């Protein structure tokens, strides 16, 4: 049986661009005017992120001017928002994006498709914020037999998580929506409607959709934090184009300095951070996200600079176990030099390089 990748397959055209990006990275390595010496003139940093709660450090870093301050006058910040991981990764591959906040599965997909050449993880951002919400009459795994459970996308991070968890409970699933529990991939916004109408019996989703489903009469059957050591698992990390990293390591250092500062703000001033997220989503969508909903979801998230690499590797192993992808060698994915420089400068404990 043919296995699916963690995310939708990128087009052949995108793969061609990956090859070009790889060649560009090699050229940057040999250019004495850039690389380790840093940037010699004005630089534009195109930074991607999602306008949602799990990308709070990015949203706050942009909205509160934290990134701009850390980057300095010589670097122009050009923020770009995305609604899905594959689109952000394709922008990195095409050269339209230099760095992006992104989830674990798109991270692995990008590294795999480029044969380990195109991207590096330079920092973590957030952990947690995912749960299985079900109808009140469902009280345990065996009550899910014959039920329909939604996930955001076939093969995405949450889709892998629910299939692996169900397998651990002795329940089967198939990519086609068969088995003991029928998995129904659909957009998160649609899930609230289908849950309310009774078309699905539950959903394994990230915040703020967990809170929305709970507010629509659901209950949390599985808080995904409970499935991980120390209740920590990566939901968002910071990914940088290898080409940009090699050409402008000094700018990447400033970006990571900004990430650490943004997380400090998010953790020390949660009320201001929550308001900033509500306002930012309002600017983009025309309707601010309800502040009460943000506060409700906030308690399930931890904003951390540690990318929690062990959880990303475990997530990949889970995807292989449920036959949604093939094994991937992740050696070289992480470059935490810049993060540890930032942490050391603040007297904070460094993160162990995977």
Q: How far apart are CA 180 and CA 165, in angstroms?
A: 13
Assign domain 44-126+234-346 to a CATH class: alpha beta
Pinpoint the alpha helices (H) of 154-248.
157-168, 188-197, 209-215, 242-247
pLDDT digits over 219-261, tens only? 999 999 999 999 999 999 999 999 999 999 999 999 999 999 9
> How far apart (Å, rounded) are the C-alpha atoms in residues 291 and 275?
7
Q: At residue 306, what are phi and psi to the nearest 5 degrees?
A: -75, 120
**What DSSP line would sit under 44-105, residue for residue?**
EEEEEE-SSGGGHHHHHHHHTTHHHHHH-TTEEEEEEE-SSHHHHHHHHHHTS-SEEEE-HH
Across the range 257-275, mean pLDDT stands at: 97
**Per-residue pLDDT reduced to its tens digit, 3-13:** 444 444 333 33
> Which residues, including other chains, have CB under 8 Å from residue 53's CB and lie 6 or more apart?
129, 207, 208, 277, 289, 294, 297, 298, 301
Per-residue CA distances from 111 to 124, 224, 236, 277 (Å): 16, 25, 16, 29
Q: What is the pLDDT of residue 98?
A: 98
Q: Do domains 44-126+234-346 and 130-231 have the same CATH topology?
A: yes
Summarize pLDDT for 72-103 with one digit per residue, the tens: 999 999 999 988 888 899 999 999 999 999 99
Radius of gyration of the chain (CA): 20
Residue 22 or 106, more confident? 106
Length of the chain: 354
Q: Which residue has the tokens 């959903």?
A: 203
- pLDDT of amino acid 12: 37
Please tell me the pTM assigned to this model: 0.84
- d(CA 189, CA 182) in angstroms, rounded, equals 19
Reply yes or no: is the peptide bond before residue 208 cis, omega within 30 of 0. yes
Residues 6+ apart with CB under 8 A from 91: 48, 80, 82, 97, 100
Residues above pLDDT 70, as percent of the chain: 89
pLDDT of amino acid 11 = 39
Q: Are strands 75-81 and 43-49 parallel, antiparallel or unpaired?
A: parallel
Tokens of 74: 């010589």
Contact 54, 129 (CB under 8 A): yes
Cα angle 324, 173, 177 (rounded to 5 degrees) comes to 90
Whether the pLDDT of residue 70 is over 80: the answer is: yes
pLDDT of residue 249: 98
The Cα 164–Cα 172 span in angstroms is 9
Every domain of the chain and the residues it spans: 44-126+234-346, 130-231
Task: Render pLDDT for 32-53 as a digit per residue (tens, 0 to 9).
Answer: 334 344 656 799 999 999 998 9
Asked which of 2-16, 33-47, 125-139, 309-323 is least confident by mean pLDDT, the reply is 2-16
For helices 104-113 and 12-29, the axis angle rounded to 10 degrees is 80
Dihedral, 297, 131, 331, 2 alpha carbons, nearest 10: -140
74/293 Cα distance (integer angstroms): 38
- Mean pLDDT confidence for 266-285: 94
* Best CATH choice for the domain 130-231 from the list 3.10.300.10, 3.10.350.10, 3.40.190.10, 3.40.50.300: 3.40.190.10
Please choose, from the candidates 60, 25, 16, 9, the residue with its C-alpha nearest in 3D space to the C-alpha of residue 335: 25
């Amino acid at each position: 049986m043919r296995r699916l990748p963690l995310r939708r397959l990128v087009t052949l055209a995108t793969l061609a661009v990956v090859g070009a990006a790889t060649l560009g990275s090699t050229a940057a390595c040999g250019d004495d005017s850039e690389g380790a010496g840093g940037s010699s003139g004005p630089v534009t940093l195109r930074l991607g992120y999602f306008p949602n709660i799990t990308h709070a450090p990015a949203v706050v870093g942009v909205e509160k001017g934290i990134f701009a301050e850390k980057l300095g006058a010589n670097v122009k910040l050009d923020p770009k928002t995305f609604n899905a991981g594959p689109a952000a990764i394709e922008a990195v591959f095409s050269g339209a994006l230099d760095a992006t906040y992104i989830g674990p599965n798109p991270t692995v997909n990008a590294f795999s498709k480029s044969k380990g050449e195109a991207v590096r993880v330079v920092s973590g951002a957030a952990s947690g914020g995912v749960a299985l919400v079900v109808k009140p009459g469902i009280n345990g795994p065996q009550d899910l037999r014959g039920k329909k459970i939604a996930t955001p996308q076939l093969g995405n991070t949450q889709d892998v998580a629910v299939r692996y968890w169900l397998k651990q409970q002795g329940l089967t699933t198939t990519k086609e929506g068969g088995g003991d529990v029928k998995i129904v991939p659909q957009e998160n916004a649609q899930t609230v409607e289908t849950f309310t109408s009774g078309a699905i019996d539950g959903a394994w989703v990230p915040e703020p959709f967990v809170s929305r489903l709970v507010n629509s009469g659901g209950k949390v059957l599985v808080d995904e934090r409970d499935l991980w050591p120390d209740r920590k698992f990566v939901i968002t990390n910071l990914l940088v184009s290898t080409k940009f990293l090699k050409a402008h390591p000094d700018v990447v250092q400033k970006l990571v300095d900004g990430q650490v500062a943004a997380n400090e703000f998010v953790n020390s001033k949660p009320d201001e951070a929550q308001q900033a997220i509500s306002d930012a989503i309002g600017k983009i969508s025309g309707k601010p996200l309800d502040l009460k909903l943000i506060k409700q979801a906030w308690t399930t998230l931890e904003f951390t600079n540690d990318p929690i690499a062990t959880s990303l590797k475990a997530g990949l192993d889970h995807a292989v176990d449920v036959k949604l992808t093939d094994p991937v060698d992740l050696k070289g994915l992480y470059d935490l030099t810049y993060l540890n420089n930032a942490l050391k400068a603040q007297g904070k404990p460094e993160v162990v390089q995977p």
